[in-house]
A and B are shown apart, each in its own frame.
Chain A
Amino acid sequence: MGLTLTRAAQWTTSSSGTAKLESTPLNESLLKEILEFVEKIGSKSPQEAEHVFEEPLQWNTTLVASHFKKGYNTRGSTVKSNEKDSEGNPLLQLSPPSLYVRNFSQLSKLLHVAKDRKLQEVQACLEENRDPMVNILGWNFISKLDRTRSPPEVPIDASEKDVKVKLFILLQDIDKKILNKLVAEISEQVQLDPTIVTKEVELFKQCCTEGEERLLKSLRYTSDFEFSNGCRAPLWRQALGEICYLVIEPCDGEILNITCSSAGVFLNAGFQQEGDESHYERKSDFYEDLASLLKNRSPHFAENINKQVVDGEERGRAQKSEKQQENIVHQWERLQRALYGRKKCDTCQRWRNLGVLTVCGPAEEEKARKSSVEKKRPGARSRMKAELSASYSPGHLSSQRTKTSAGAVVEEQFSESSSETEEEEEQPERRSETNPDLPSEYWQIQKLVKYLKAADQTVTVLVLCAMMELDLTKETCQLAIQDLGGLEVLLNLLDTNDIRCKIGSLKILTKISQNGFLRQTIVHMRGLQRMVNNLDSPVKELQALAAETIANVAKDRRARRTVRHHGGIRKLVKLLDCIHDSANLRANMEKDLEVARCGASALWSCSKSSKNKEAIRKAGGIPLLGRLLRSPQENMLIPVVGTLQECASQESYRVAIQTEGMIEDLVKNLRRDNDELQMLCASAIFKCAEDKRTRDLVRSNKGLQPLVSLLAKADNKQLLAAATGAIWKCSFSMKNVAIFQESKALQTLIGLLTDQPEDVLVNVVGALGQFAQKPANKTAICNGGGIKALINLLNGTNQALLVNVTKAVGACATEKDNVAIIDQLDGVRLVWSLLKNPSTEVQSSAAWALCPCIENAKDAREMVLFLIGGLELIVHLLKSTNNEVRTSICAVVAKLAKDKEILGVLTDRGVVSLLAELINTTDNRLRCYLAEAIGHCCMWRNNRASFGEYGAVGPLVRYLESKDTSVLMSTAMALYQLSKEPSNIITMHEEGVVQQLIHLTGSDDSKLQEFAAGCLRNIRLLSLANQRAACSNENP
């Protein structure tokens, strides 16, 4: 109880000199706690309750004799209890007005007697016995025990000592319990964060060293007692936001008595002892932290800390790895960062960028945090408003603040003082002067936000309307609303029940959420949750505005996830369901459509993440989007097609778009004169047309021609990219190519090969590659100057583009005349060098392009052998792990091996063993080209034997089980070549090749027949020779 009374209770000194307990809520709950303890002690610990006090507790009571009934001996106005101590003195004695009580059980009985006046009695008792612990246990006992907290070695009666110790512990426990409870109560009212102060104090304590370098002589807390929340100020001061008190002795000047509070740091009236209220009085301005106060008060401190900061920075720059970085100054800097936080720096930086300088101190930040905590509590709105009413004044750290404490509003007025100017001079960086050129909107917004906080719904709407009159698209206005706390209020309005306030707030939010910074802040302040909550409001306008704002905010990834996590996707999809057939709803059609439009916009923003695409599908969004796709309004179609094309990256959507007849609508909308809509439709077709049925649908719905006409809008690169993409994918069907050509698409595409962004080029070249499947087009591309542009593109680095360019070049090279042109333009070398590209796709695509080049070259030998290192590269790529690369390289090897000289080089590089290693593949395409390569490599006799030695023959025979005719063909060819080597024939025979070859001789393909028959012939010849040899051996 001792601690409780000295640390927690708020005492005032009355004129008569006796201390009084203030009637504050804090003291009241304290009294109640003590009362409860005393009432229960009799039943809980009867032994301790019987212990007789060292000195009686004595006070002036309002009770009179008539109150005391049973168990008391009343004589006149004096009362004595029947119970007596060992010496025969009554344990309770009343001689009006004084009352003496000598143990707890009597106290408890007395309180029972006092009935509704018991609280006053407890108060009077405590007021007149300022240290009840001494009365109860005796001064001797306390002074011994309190220090050591161990049982005393005082020679007193053992059992009595035991009870005393128990009582002492009991009292201490209750002391602690009450304190913790009060601290908890306080922290519900006031948010105090002592960690920053504690850190700073710890830091400066280290500065109190000896010598010239030291910053301070000494620094100490006024009180060693720390409450469970980390604060040291008495509880009733904590309620006012004060955290602790310090006494600092600077190197130059007087001792400073400092109060650290949540509002800042200031000098107090030099308080030395607790209990006297006047000592807490503020004697200086608020400073944002200890450092700035000390800088102001102690020139020595300011000089040294600044020097150290500069030193530290320079040293830090010069020798980064040095341990010295960990010196005190850096710690100080770190602390500074912790104090002001990133947020503040951002704010300052941004305002500075805008030519608007202001400082948002930690107090503001802490207030923002506090009020956000406050707001989470329902029903605290009016209080929150009072809390928020502190105004913002740039250039000053702390302005007027109001704080709700224990139900009473306490004001701390900001007062100008002479130290103001010095302070600003000393901290030019952080605390730059208020820029006189603040835009007028800034002040206007400051006022409006202030009113917003103090208004009921009617005036709130008026203020919101006034805010809408400002140019909210200006970044200055947007940032002002955020930084002046307006954003928070706007978002809070979304939690209210007032529809008009919500509408007004959202009207502003839709505009200011164009700003990326604000979007982040909105997400941070749980803004999206609140908007999502309003999506199922029965008021259409509100739904629409909430969705529209979500559409803006959900442009960031994190925001999109938040929308999904709060069930926003489902609600947004529900908004799309607006087409009803019943006649009486037709009147509301316009509003319903607006809601659906906003819903679609929000979904469009959200659909950029794949989990949201899935969520939209699961919520049944696809058929609803399909229905809206038939809408005649362009502003509706744009978000709908936007969502669809975004989602078309997923297979399920592509299938749905095709099967639910959406292609028809997409094609229809291609013809509208709206660039954005056309772009989105083309993009949707681009993504869907990989599927053949979709391509056919585009054709049958006459969508190809409009795609070509979009190429005319070459200035709109986005549109161009989408249109060329759609053309590329659609031209996978040759029927489509024919139709494209009717509209002269080829010439236009060739014209687009230069000076276009890469995403356009990829598509254009891809389309040309497809067009070049038709022989006439190959010549057209080469003669139209297209080939030169294509070959130029081979120098690029974009892999998708390189894949398409090599494909197109390869397609052109299938025409004999073109190869000469390509080679002349150095195209072959460029393609060949792409084999070195890290992308396997580029490698294989380049290899495929080389095949026709080699085949159709006038002098392939000269062309190839001229490329130094080219053949090594080919052989090396046979080691690739990618099947497509291996396949394409086998094809190249097959072409190259036709030339004996080249084959010689390849053989030297070990091509035979590498090919043999691939023999066990199961990939049919690879088998086909591998067999062909093997067959062509057999032109050299040695190679035939080598393949046998490497064990390639057996597996090759097994290729004949394949049903793929091209595999059969190339295998039969290879086997025929290999069968020229007798040792191979033996292996083949063992594998049972004869039966299969006989079967192949019955094939429809004459070439295949020939290879099979040829192979059989070689086998037969060997066996005949064998027989002959055997005969001559038998009959010499």
Chain B
Amino acid sequence: MTEMSAKTRKAIQTQAENLSKKVEHFTKAEIECLIQHFNSLLADQVSRGKAAHGLDRGRFRGILQNVFGLTNAMMMDGVFRCFDKDGDGTVTVEEWIRGHAVFLRGTLDERMKYCFQVYDLNDDKYISKEEIFHMLKQSFIKQPTEEDPDEGLKEVVEITMKTMDHDHDSLLSFEDFKKSVQAENLLLEAFGTCLPDPMHIKKFEQLVFQEQHEQ
């Protein structure tokens, strides 16, 4: 990055200037860092022969796994869906920074919205029992003694639904979700880890934001 030309540097600054007006939680300097980091990630991808203006799904998932320690494939797809606002299959620099605003610094409200979106697999603004079941399918170690191995999971879904579904329509609306999470914060990532844990956030921020200080 040291051999970055003055021109690209200028371009990044303007970009950061613009973005800092649209995105909360980051200072302009931090946004610059994020852009640079994004560009370097993109450069890796380009050097592998694909010209692109954004990160594709595979690359994005790789980052989630390696940098943020997320492992569940279904969750990673959900995260990609949330980042990729326009749904074009790539995460652009703006989407990247907007996503990270929630990812790294989001308020409880923002994170609730984000998690809800990840869990709402078919994007119908409700989380159904079937969706929950689908998300948790891999989470149960099947017991050989059980006649129906899914029975336990079904029961857990049932119990969870009972505590979270405040309006008793057998669907979790955002309102239901919000109410439950406010009562018990642990329910924020109820159906799968889709946010990085504090240790990973710290490591990432150190990595990205310290690069800037060193320059």
Binding site for B on A (CB under 8 A): 382, 385-386, 389, 391, 400, 402, 409, 411, 447, 450-451, 454-459, 461-466, 468-469, 499-500, 503-504, 507, 538-539
Contact = CB atoms under 8 A, between A and B. Distances in A.
B208 interface: no
B156 A462 contact: yes
Interface of B: 72, 136, 138-145, 152-153, 155-156, 159-160, 163, 184, 186-187, 189-193, 197-199, 202
A409 B186 contact: no
B163 A465 contact: yes
Contact of A466 (B141, B163, B192, B199): B163
A454 B140 contact: yes
B139 A458 contact: yes
Contacts of A458: 72, 136, 139, 189-193
A464 B186 CA distance: 9
A455 B156 contact: yes
A383 to B, nearest CB: 11
A105 B145 CA distance: 51
A454 B190 contact: no
B145 A455 contact: no
Contacts of B143: 386, 389, 402, 454
B153 A459 contact: yes
Contact of B144 (A391, A402, A464): A402
Q: Which 4 A-B pairs have the closest CB atoms?
A: A459-B139, A456-B139, A466-B159, A454-B141
B140 A411 contact: no
A465 B144 CA distance: 26
Contacts of A499: 197-198
B141 A385 contact: yes
Contacts of A503: 186
Contacts of B144: 402, 409, 411
Nearest to A414: B145
Nearest to B136: A459
A464 B189 CA distance: 13
Contacts, number: 83
B152 A451 contact: yes
Contact of B198 (A385, A391, A447, A538): A538
B141 A456 contact: yes
B171 to A, nearest CB: 17
A538 B197 CA distance: 11
Contacts of A463: 156, 159
Contacts of A500: 186, 189
B141 A382 contact: yes
A464 B144 CA distance: 23
A391 B141 contact: no
A450 B152 CA distance: 9
Nearest to A499: B197
A451 B198 contact: no
A385 B144 CA distance: 12
A465 B155 CA distance: 14
Nearest to A447: B155
Contacts of A450: 152
Contacts of B191: 458
Most buried by B among A386, A462, A469, A504: A462
Contacts of A389: 143, 145
A391 B140 CA distance: 16
Nearest to B184: A465
Given A459-B136, A539-B198, A468 B192 contact: no
A550 B189 CA distance: 27
Nearest to B157: A462
Contacts of A459: 136, 139-140, 153, 156
B160 A465 contact: yes
B87 to A, nearest CB: 26
Given A459-B139, A500-B186, A503-B186, 9 more contacts: A386-B141, A386-B143, A402-B145, A454-B140, A458-B192, A461-B186, A463-B156, A465-B190, A466-B159
A33 to B, nearest CB: 32
Contacts of A386: 141, 143
Contacts of A409: 144
A872 to B, nearest CB: 77
A364 to B, nearest CB: 16
Contacts of B138: 456
Nearest to B143: A389
Nearest to B187: A465
A400 B145 contact: yes
Given A451-B152, A455-B156, A538-B199, A462 B141 contact: no
20 contacts: A402-B144, A402-B145, A411-B144, A451-B152, A451-B156, A454-B141, A455-B141, A458-B72, A458-B189, A459-B139, A459-B153, A459-B156, A462-B159, A464-B186, A465-B163, A468-B184, A499-B198, A503-B186, A538-B198, A538-B199
Contacts of B184: 465, 468
Contact of A469 (B72, B156, B163, B199): B163
Contacts of A391: 145
A898 B182 CA distance: 85
Nearest to B142: A454
A466 B145 contact: no
B1 to A, nearest CB: 27
A411 B144 CA distance: 8
A382 B139 CA distance: 13
Most buried by B among A456, A458, A464: A458
A463 B155 CA distance: 10
B183 to A, nearest CB: 10
A391 B146 CA distance: 11
Contacts of A451: 140, 152, 155-156
Nearest to B132: A462
Contacts of B153: 459
Contacts of B142: 454
A465 B141 CA distance: 19
Contacts of B192: 458
A461 B193 CA distance: 11
B30 to A, nearest CB: 14
A56 to B, nearest CB: 47
Nearest to A507: B186
A538 to B, nearest CB: 6
Given A389-B145, A451-B155, A456 B140 contact: yes
A447 B187 CA distance: 20
Given A391-B145, A462-B156, A538-B199, A455 B140 contact: yes
A462 B192 CA distance: 10
Most buried by A among B159, B187, B191: B159
B160 A454 contact: no
Contacts of A507: 186
Nearest to A463: B156
Contacts of A385: 141
Contact of B152 (A400, A454, A468): A454
